[in-house]
Amino acid sequence: MERAILVGIDGSEAALRAVAWAAREAERRGCRLSLVSAYVIPAAEAAFVWPPEAIEEDTAKAVGVARDRAAEIAPGLEISEAVIMDSPVSALLEQARDAAMVVVGLRGRGGFPGLRIGSVAYRVAAHSPVPTVVVGEEVPLDDTEVVAGVGGSHRSDRVLAEAFEAATLGGKRVRAVRAWSEPILPSPGMRPLLYEPEAVEAAQARELAEELRPWAERYPDITVVRDVVEAPTVAALADAARDARLVVVGAHSSRGITRLALGRVAHGLLHNAARPVMVVPNR
């Protein structure tokens, strides 16, 4: 049986946008769609406590609405439901062990006005054993290109593997982005010896072409666009992803505190990119 794409459900509009994107992606990949909702019964001494029956009713309603939305996007898709009494992060990470990917909305019903990304999305993206897609306010359902952040490290292979696989299922186009910046020196007026921007950009372009060569050979039907940009990496990727179906980046590490585990680039993109961001674990 094909593995499932998991979607975190909490009754929010953000979760329904995640369901819409995940349903179309599950249809493309021939996967099942698993709607996962988790809740914790507050302690009796809490200042405000919903009755357990009300929590269960609210959860069931949220799952039902999500199921209807998925069926509307992808009729005939196999959909399962899991309602778990646990924290949303723990439930999703546990269920993710046997999944193809996890999909979550940018922020749920908690948080406060002005909060860009919720703690559940951030922590799942940082610690999931499988790729996590965080869906923002723009949900592209049509076939558009996939953007990949290629930084020249060993992690790029994992990013490119996911990007090319996603492109084979729709769009048939990968835009590989390599960003670079002039070295930062102690004094504003100083310039590094032998530093030539044109030479640096040419070297970056050669390295990017070499990294992409085996992938272009493996996927001859995919159009590959190479972008070498003198700009901060997050800004370059966010700009390239404006019309993308998906932008793919690597997590920094699978361990450590959440922000360090996620890494600077993934952290920045989740706060700046309008389109869905896939964070690929470093394992």
pLDDT tens for each residue of 240-266: 998 899 999 998 754 555 556 688 899
In sign, the C-alpha dihedral spanning 226, 227, 233, 236 is: negative
pLDDT tens-digit series, residues 21-79: 999 999 999 999 999 998 776 555 544 555 667 777 788 889 999 999 999 999 999 99
Tell me the whole-structure pTM to 2 decimals.
Answer: 0.88
pLDDT tens-digit series, residues 155-172: 789 999 999 999 999 889
Judge whether residue 210 has pLDDT over 90. yes
pLDDT tens-digit series, residues 268-278: 999 888 899 99
How many CB atoms are located within 10 Å of the residue 13 CB?
A: 12
Residue 114: per-residue pLDDT: 45
Judge whether residue 174 has pLDDT over 60. yes
8 Å CB contact between 66 and 15: yes
Task: Over range 135-143, report the average pLDDT.
Answer: 83
Task: Over range 79-107, report the average pLDDT.
Answer: 92
| Distance of alpha carbon 186 from alpha carbon 190, whole angstroms | 8
Q: How confident is the model at residue 281 (pLDDT cuts 50, 70, 90)?
A: very high
| Distance of alpha carbon 135 from alpha carbon 118, whole angstroms | 12
Task: Over range 111-134, report the average pLDDT.
Answer: 80
- CB under 8 Å to 2, separation ≥6 — which residues? 29, 30, 31, 32, 100
Judge whether residue 218 has pLDDT over 50. yes
Residue 214: per-residue pLDDT: 95
Give the CATH number of domain 146-276: 3.40.50.12370
Q: Where in the chain is the domain with CATH 3.40.50.620?
A: 4-135
Q: Where in the chain is the domain with CATH 3.40.50.12370?
A: 146-276
pLDDT tens-digit series, residues 180-199: 876 655 455 555 555 677 88
Three-state DSSP class for residue 50: coil
8 Å CB contact between 216 and 167: no
Residue 115: per-residue pLDDT: 47
Residue 250: per-residue pLDDT: 92
Residue 128: per-residue pLDDT: 93
Say what percent of the chain tops pLDDT 90.
55
Q: In this structure, which topology does domain 4-135 adopt according to CATH?
A: Rossmann fold (3.40.50)
